[in-house]
Chains A and B, each alone.
Chain A
Amino acid sequence: MRRCGRPNGFTFVETMIVLALFSIISMAILSSFTTGMRVWRWATSPKVAYGRAALGFERLCTELRRAVNYPPIGFWGEMDSVTFANVFNGKILNITYRLDQDQGAVIRQASALTSLGDEAAEGPARPVIRSVKNVRLGYYGVIEPRTRQMGFLDAWNYSRSGIPPYVRLTVTWTNDNVSETLVPILIQY
Chain B
Amino acid sequence: MLFVAVGALTILSILSLGTTAGVVQQIKLAESLKNTQVALFAASSLVKAMPAVFAHDPTPTVVTAYDLRTREIPFGDLVLDVKMTDEQSKINIEQAEEGVVARLPGVAGSQSLVDEIVAKAMWVKEDLLLLDSMTPETYEALSGFVTTYGNNVNIHTATEEALSALGIDGGLVSKIQSHLAGSDGEPGTEDDAVFFSPPEILTGLDVYGLTQDQKTTLGNLVSSGRLMTSSEFVCYEIAVKKGRRTVRSFEIVASPGSGDIVSWQEK
Which one of B19, B22, B29 contacts A54 once the chains associate, using CB atoms below 8 Å? B29
Which one of A28, A35, A90 contacts B5 once the chains associate, using CB atoms below 8 Å? A28
B116-151 vs A, Cβ < 8 Å mask (1 yes, 0 no):
000011011011011110000001000000000000
Which one of A18, A62, A92 contacts B126 once the chains associate, using CB atoms below 8 Å? A92
- Residue count of chain B within 8 Å CB distance of chain A: 37
The answer to the question of B26 belonging to the interface, with a C-beta cut-off of 8 Å to chain A, is yes
Known contacts A35-B12, A54-B33; decide if A87 and B126 are in contact (CB<8 Å).
yes
Contact yes or no, B266 A21, CB < 8 A: no
Known contacts A65-B264, A87-B126, A116-B131; decide if A25 and B8 are in contact (CB<8 Å).
yes
Contact yes or no, A115 B263, CB < 8 A: no
Which of A37-45, A132-140, A147-155 touches B?
Answer: A37-45
Contact yes or no, A24 B12, CB < 8 A: no
Known contacts A25-B4, A188-B262; decide if A116 and B29 are in contact (CB<8 Å).
no
Contact yes or no, B19 A35, CB < 8 A: yes
The answer to the question of A123 belonging to the interface, with a C-beta cut-off of 8 Å to chain B, is no
Contact yes or no, A35 B15, CB < 8 A: yes
Known contacts A28-B5, A29-B8, A114-B130; decide if A51 and B29 are in contact (CB<8 Å).
yes
Min distance, Cβ A99 to any Cβ of chain B, angstroms: 22
Which interface residue of B127, B130, B261, B263 has the most chain A CB atoms within 10 A?
A: B130
The answer to the question of A69 belonging to the interface, with a C-beta cut-off of 8 Å to chain B, is yes
Whose C-beta in chain A lies nearest to the C-beta of B48?
A186
Contact yes or no, A70 B29, CB < 8 A: no
**B26 surroundings in chain A (CB, below 8 A):** 47-48, 51
The answer to the question of B265 belonging to the interface, with a C-beta cut-off of 8 Å to chain A, is yes
The answer to the question of B24 belonging to the interface, with a C-beta cut-off of 8 Å to chain A, is no
A58-73 vs B, Cβ < 8 Å mask (1 yes, 0 no):
1000100110111110
Min distance, Cβ B125 to any Cβ of chain A, angstroms: 8
Known contacts A69-B123, A92-B127; decide if A38 and B19 are in contact (CB<8 Å).
yes
**B123 surroundings in chain A (CB, below 8 A):** 68-72
The answer to the question of B207 belonging to the interface, with a C-beta cut-off of 8 Å to chain A, is no
Contact yes or no, A25 B12, CB < 8 A: no
- Residue count of chain A within 8 Å CB distance of chain B: 42
A92 to B263, CA, bound (A): 14
**A55 surroundings in chain B (CB, below 8 A):** 29
Known contacts A65-B40, A91-B126; decide if A39 and B22 are in contact (CB<8 Å).
yes
A97-116 vs B, Cβ < 8 Å mask (1 yes, 0 no):
00000000000000001111
Contact yes or no, B266 A65, CB < 8 A: yes
Contact yes or no, B19 A39, CB < 8 A: yes
12 CB < 8 A contacts A-B: A24-B5, A25-B4, A42-B22, A58-B36, A65-B40, A66-B266, A72-B123, A90-B129, A90-B139, A92-B127, A113-B130, A115-B132
- List B residues at the A interface (Cβ < 8 Å): 1, 4-5, 8-9, 11-12, 15-16, 18-19, 22, 25-26, 29, 33, 36, 40, 44, 120-121, 123-124, 126-127, 129-132, 139, 260-266
- List A residues at the B interface (Cβ < 8 Å): 18, 21, 24-25, 28-29, 31-32, 35-36, 38-39, 42-43, 47-48, 51, 54-55, 58, 62, 65-66, 68-72, 87-88, 90-92, 113-116, 184-188
